[in-house]
């Protein structure tokens, strides 16, 4: 069975960087993975991505020796288990406010004795290049389980969430965390002391627990700021943002040249 290099690097205290997929497009997933990102996240919570497309995207990412992580639509058994059955190497579970929420995610994402995940299908072991028996024995060890800290309540409980056995790390939802305090995210990043204190509290709690904290950055500059604040699983931009920026920048150059002709 393949080794989850992202999980091993995080366990060794390293920082890993990846990017986000909201578009249901396996070719685009493979192209992004080919650029050298450590991981690609396939977003089934906010992205309009059907299960069959997500499965194809996982395959495309793995073909580039990149780690596919899938965000489940909700902290619910069928959502989490279907994500793992399609072969994800990591699963992100949204809206975790308490340790009990985290234990529920572990129950559905981990095989016994750690959890109650059901075993079925053949696709999962194929993406790990192994047989069903080996997959069943080693999945708990290799699959990355992240839970999302997205509210002020969840930040207040983050130490207890991190203490749940089976959780590898926490991932801040920066937009929803800002909204939980009544403000849009662009107005608070490095501008609102109370918000930045929440950001730092999560990173510090993760470091104290021996686990890791992750977060999504809008761009490369912001990603470096987050790494400096102690975040070790850092997302940078995403497919729609890259497509928009590349298209707009090219068009702006051409339009400017047209004006000189």
Please give the structure tokens belonging to residue 4. 């989850």
Q: How far is CA 221 from CA 102, 105, 232, 248, in A?
A: 31, 32, 15, 19
Classify the C-alpha dihedral 99-103-109-112 as positive or negative. positive
Q: How many CB atoms lie within 10 A of CB 177?
A: 24
What angle, 0 to 180 degrees and rounded to 10, lies between the N-to-C axes of helices 26-34 and 239-258? 80
**Is the Cβ–Cβ distance between 97 and 154 less than 8 Å?**
yes
Q: Which of 8, 46, 191, 248 is catalytic?
A: 46
Q: Is 46 a catalytic residue?
A: yes
Helices (H) and strands (E) counted in the chain, each on its own, are: 13, 8
Nearest to 19 by CA among 180, 241, 249: 241
Residues with active-site annotation? 46
């Amino acid at each position: 069975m393949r080794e989850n290099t992202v999980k091993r690097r995080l366990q060794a205290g390293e920082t890993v960087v990846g990017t986000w997929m909201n578009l249901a497009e396996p070719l685009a997933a493979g192209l992004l993975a080919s650029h050298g990102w450590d991981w690609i996240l396939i977003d089934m919570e906010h992205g309009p991505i059907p299960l069959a497309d997500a499965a194809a995207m996982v395959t495309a990412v793995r073909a580039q020796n990149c780690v596919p992580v899938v965000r489940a639509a909700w902290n619910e058994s069928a959502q989490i288990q279907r994500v793992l059955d399609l072969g994800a190497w990591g699963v992100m579970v949204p809206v975790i406010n308490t340790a009990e929420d985290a234990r529920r995610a572990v129950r559905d994402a981990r095989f016994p004795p750690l959890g109650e995940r059901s075993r079925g299908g053949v696709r999962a072991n194929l993406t790990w290049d192994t047989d069903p028996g080996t997959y069943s024995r080693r999945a708990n060890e290799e699959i990355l389980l992240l839970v999302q800290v997205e509210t002020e309540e969840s930040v207040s409980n983050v130490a207890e969430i991190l203490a749940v056995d089976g959780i590898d790390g926490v991932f801040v939802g920066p937009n929803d965390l800002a909204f939980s305090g009544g403000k849009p995210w662009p107005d608070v990043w490095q501008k609102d002391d109370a918000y930045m204190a929440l950001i730092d509290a999560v990173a510090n709690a993760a470091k104290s627990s021996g686990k890791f904290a992750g977060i999504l950055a809008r761009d490369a500059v912001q990603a470096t700021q987050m790494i400096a604040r102690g975040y070790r699983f850092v997302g940078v931009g995403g497919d729609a943002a890259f497509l928009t920026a590349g298209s707009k920048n090219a068009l702006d150059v051409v339009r400017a040249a047209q004006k000189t002709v």
